[in-house]
Structure 1
């Protein structure tokens, strides 16, 4: 994972986290969908970053 991609993924994670934390109580229509997408991103983005960093580390370790 290149640094700009990592920065974009981290920024997206923070935006999703803020969206989940500030969700209104009366969810309806498209807001439910946006909240569901944000919730999924909150859990998947750290996993994506960790797997990308691990695969990069593994490729460097195996090339030596």
Structure 2
């Protein structure tokens, strides 16, 4: 699956990530049809959160 990942202030990259797997009986995998970023993601993107790790995946708001 594709994910937008932090590469440094004002730098992101779309990377291929492994598909999730069911690990527990209560787990579910949801097919995401739309994803977006929010204001807190923009703070990270703009470099305003110094401890943001390279490779962090943006887009915690989604629809599936």
> Which structure dedicates a bigger proportion of its chain to strand?
2
> Which structure dedicates a bigger proportion of its chain to helix?
1
